[in-house]
């Protein structure tokens, strides 16, 4: 029982980071109906950039988010303009999967050349510290990681609900044709939205690098988890994504202590199969275009 | 619907005849080695096209079944000898049928989704297969991989049996594609690709058509995986279930022309030698990944419909004697509208 509670705490903290990673995927899917298979690679890119900022410039990984996220935001906007926008409307859904997969390969290749394929980890002075709460170990760095994820997610939802840009994004998600009629520049929204979605990935990557070791190939592992999460949450629902991410974080941790750590990644796929059999539209899925 | 057109028959006879003669004309080991991989990808791309090209369902997890085929052959022959060396080829049909049977329940679950969600589910399939290959140690020997006996083929023509096996599987995939195109099942698939709901509405048993095609497509893929494993005689999880294999085959389909008969093979014929050359020049360095990604982006952005459809359009346009190639062929509405304007 103790073990399971401990696993739930750990899983919840991990789930918060998953939520940040997957929310970008959901945002991009909501706006453009594009599934960004390169999201995992963007996370790893963020992890490496923050690793470099830490080892070379001695910037704390959490602070480095302020540096890394804008860089990756620009990269994402350029990718959207150069590779996703030119795709024809009726083929965009299919071709964007392949295009973003190719981008993921490209990023993996560049990172392998720049950093080699050995596993890295951003190890801060507080990496090994932990608090004792009611007799349970709670790793400090994981709590910070969770907190940062909540902050970034909160900022994202504030932007979406409170600003003019956010309203334009939500209008585009709900009904692109009417949004365009009302004078919203859908193309601009798509480019900026894609930039934001990968910037959240980079922010999550900085956090990821502090908690888990990574190498350029780690993005495959990540993207398989994230894709499961967005299917589980119901494609395009931000609330569903957060709930699904927390749920999967806990499920994975509990699976790991009760059954076997080597089989823990399978928990994602078992849940995925179950959800497809029972409720193919996901937890919060809607059959029509959703509200983010 | 006339099934066999003389020109098609001649084309198939010439290409397959030339391919059969190839290793006798160019017997150097390294050339035949490259040809084995070219034919392997031609087969993979052609069998992927059965599902992806004809029904429009984009599967990115076919390599899971490639891995299943590879492991089936490797596990079956890891301890015992391979006799004269031809036994593993003879059990390939069993591997294909086995993989097709395994695929049915998996496909049933995956086909509960459509469009991009289906693609996601197939991507996760790839990771499931990789996980199983790593974790089922008693069966797959985990990350250490499985070795098989090296077949007693003469060194000078060592590649030839593998070449012929790959050629046979490629020809079989091609035959399936060709047969499907004119069959009732093929028409069902085209109807699904164009509008699945309407197809179901008019009484097409879409579920059966999709399941059958998925099983056929991955059965062929698994057999090719089996030959590949036997050729290498040593397989690891990360090579047998390498995402690059699927993505490579898909790229070749798009390059040659999705949904066409010869397009995937043409794509393989162009890309695999280039890929082998790149790998040779850039060595094991990951720059190779960057080159691959660049080729991919160029193909998708510059030639989204592939070589064969673009060429046939151009030729049709020339025959009409105008710039008729501007009519968007794949969109029925577009054609109707442009014709409406003209009349």
pLDDT reported for residue A49: 93
Q: What is the pLDDT of residue B283?
A: 66
Say what the pLDDT of residue A75 is. Answer: 94
Non-local CB neighbours of A12 within 8 Å, separated by 6+ positions: A146, A246, A249, A250
Rounded mean pLDDT, B176-193: 88
- CB of B14 within 8 Å of a chain A CB? The answer is no
Nearest CA in chain A to B106: A273
Q: Would an 8 Å CB–CB cutoff place B335 in contact with chain A?
A: no
- The pair of three-digit structure tokens given for residue A284, joined into one six-digit string: 């919060």
Assign 3-class secondary structure to chain B. Answer: CCCCCHHHHHHHHHHHHHHHHHHHHCCCHHHHHHHHHHHHHHHHHHHHHHHHCCCCCCCCCCHHHHHHHHHHHHHHCCCCCCCCCCHHHHCHHHHHHHHHHHHHHHHHHHCCCCHHHHHHHHHHHHHHHHHHHHHCHHHHCHHHCEECCCCCCCHHHCCHHHHHHHHHHHHHHHHHHHHHHHCHHHHHHHHHHHHHHHHHHCCCCHHHHHHHHHHHHHHHHHHHHHHHHHHHCEECHHHHCCHHHHHHHHHHHHHHCCCCCCHHHHHHHHHHHHHHHHHHHHCCCCHHHHHHHHHHHHHHHHCCCCHHHHHHHHHHHHHHCCCHHHCCCCCHHHHHHHHHHHC
Q: Over its length of 292 residues, how does chain A's per-residue pLDDT go in tens digits?
A: 788 888 888 888 889 999 999 998 988 888 888 889 999 999 999 999 999 988 888 888 888 889 999 999 999 999 999 888 888 877 788 888 888 989 998 999 899 888 888 888 877 777 777 777 777 777 888 888 888 889 888 988 888 888 888 888 888 888 878 888 888 888 888 899 899 999 999 999 988 888 888 988 888 889 988 988 988 888 778 888 999 999 999 998 888 888 888 888 888 888 888 888 887 777 766 544 444 4
CB contact under 8 A, A276 and B294: no
Of A105, A262, A269, the CB nearest to B124: A269
CA–CA min distance B148, chain A (Å) = 27
**Residue A66, min C-alpha distance to chain B (Å):** 28
Give the distance from residue B247's alpha carbon to the nearest chain A alpha carbon, in angstroms.
8
Residues of B in contact with A280 (CB under 8 A): 112-113, 117
Binary contact (A280, B250; C-beta < 8 A): no
pLDDT surpasses 90 at B102: yes
ipTM score for this prediction: 0.83
Distance CA A237, CA A251 (A): 20
CB contact under 8 A, B123 and A112: no
Q: Is the pLDDT of residue B342 over 70?
A: no
Sorted by sequence, the CB contacts under 8 Å of residue B198 that are 6+ apart come out as B191
Closest by Cα among A25, A18, A98 to A265: A18
Interface mutation vs chain A, best among B111, B252, B300, B331, most A CBs within 10 Å: B300
Determine the residue among B63, B107, B124, B237 to mutate to test chain A binding: the one whose Cβ has the most chain A Cβ atoms within 10 Å: B124
Q: Which pLDDT value is given to residue B257?
A: 87
The residue behind tokens 């994004």 is A169
Residue B231 in tokens: 């050729």
* Residue recorded with tokens 């066999």: B4
Cα separation, A48 vs A121, whole angstroms: 9
The pLDDT, as a whole number, for residue B1 is 43
Residue B214's CB is within 10 A of a number of other CB atoms, namely 26
Contact of B334 with chain A, judged by CB distance below 8 Å, is answered with: no
């Amino acid at each position: 029982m103790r073990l399971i509670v401990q696993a739930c705490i750990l899983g919840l903290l991990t789930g918060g980071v998953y939520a940040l990673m997957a929310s970008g995927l959901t945002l991009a899917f909501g706006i453009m109906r594009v599934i960004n298979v390169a999201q995992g690679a963007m996370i790893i890119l963020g992890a490496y950039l923050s690793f470099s900022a830490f080892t070379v410039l001695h910037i704390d990984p959490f602070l480095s988010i302020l540096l890394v996220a804008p860089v990756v935001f620009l990269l994402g906007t350029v990718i959207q303009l150069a590779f996703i926008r030119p795709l024809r409307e009726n083929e965009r859904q299919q071709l964007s999967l392949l295009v973003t997969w190719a981008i993921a390969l490209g990023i993996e290749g560049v990172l392998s050349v720049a950093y080699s394929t050995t596993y890295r980890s951003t190890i801060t002075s507080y990496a090994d510290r932990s608090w004792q709460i009611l007799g349970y170990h709670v790793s400090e760095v994981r709590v910070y990681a969770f907190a940062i994820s909540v902050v970034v997610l909160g900022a994202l939802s504030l932007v979406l609900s409170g600003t003019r840009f956010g309203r334009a994004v939500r209008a585009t998600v709900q009904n692109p044709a009417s949004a365009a009629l009302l004078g919203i520049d859908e193309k601009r929204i798509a480019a900026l939205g894609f930039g934001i979605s990968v910037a959240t990935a980079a922010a999550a990557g900085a956090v990821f690098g502090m908690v888990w070791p990574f190498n350029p190939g780690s993005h495959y592992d990540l993207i398989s988890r994230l894709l499961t999460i967005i299917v589980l949450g119901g494609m395009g629902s931000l609330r569903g994504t957060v709930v699904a991410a927390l749920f999967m974080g806990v499920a994975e941790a509990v699976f790991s202590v009760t059954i076997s750590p080597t089989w823990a990644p399978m928990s994602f796929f078992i849940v995925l199969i179950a959800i497809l059999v029972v409720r193919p539209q996901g937890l919060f899925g809607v059959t029509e275009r959703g509200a983010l | 619907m006339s099934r066999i057109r003389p020109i098609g028959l001649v084309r198939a006879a010439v290409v397959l005849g030339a391919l059969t003669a190839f290793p006798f004309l160019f017997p150097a080991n390294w050339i035949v080695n490259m040809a084995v991989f070219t034919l392997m990808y031609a087969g993979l791309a052609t069998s992927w096209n059965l599902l992806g090209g004809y029904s429009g369902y984009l599967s990115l997890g076919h390599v899971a079944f490639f891995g299943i085929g590879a492991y089936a052959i490797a596990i079956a022959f890891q301890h015992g000898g391979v006799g004269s060396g031809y036994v593993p080829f003879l059990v390939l049909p069993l591997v294909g049928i086995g993989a097709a049977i395994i695929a049915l329940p998996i496909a049933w679950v995956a086909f509960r989704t459509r469009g991009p969600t289906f693609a996601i589910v197939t991507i996760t399939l790839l990771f499931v297969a990789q996980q199983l290959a790593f974790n089922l140690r008693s069966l797959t020997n985990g990350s250490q991989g499985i070795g098989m006996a090296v077949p007693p083929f003469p060194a000078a023509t060592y590649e030839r049996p593998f070449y012929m096996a790959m050629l046979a599987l490629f020809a079989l995939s091609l035959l399936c594609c060709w047969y499907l195109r004119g069959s009732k099942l093929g028409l069902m698939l085209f109807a699904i690709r164009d509008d699945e709901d309407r197809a179901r509405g008019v009484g097409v048993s879409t579920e059966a058509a999709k399941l059958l095609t998925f099983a056929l497509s991955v059965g062929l893929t698994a057999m090719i995986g089996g030959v590949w494993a036997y050729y290498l005689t040593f397989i690891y999880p990360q090579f047998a279930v390498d995402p690059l294999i699927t993505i490579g085959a898909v790229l070749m389909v798009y390059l040659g022309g999705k949904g066409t008969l010869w397009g995937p093979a043409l794509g393989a014929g162009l890309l695999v030698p280039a890929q082998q050359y790149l790998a040779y020049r850039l060595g094991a360095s990951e720059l190779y990944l960057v080159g691959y990604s660049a080729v991919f982006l160029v193909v998708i952005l510059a030639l989204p419909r592939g070589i064969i459809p673009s060429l046939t359009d151009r030729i049709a346009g020339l025959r009409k004697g105008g710039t008729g190639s501007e009519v968007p062929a794949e969109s029925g509405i577009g054609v109707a509208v442009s014709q409406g304007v003209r009349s």
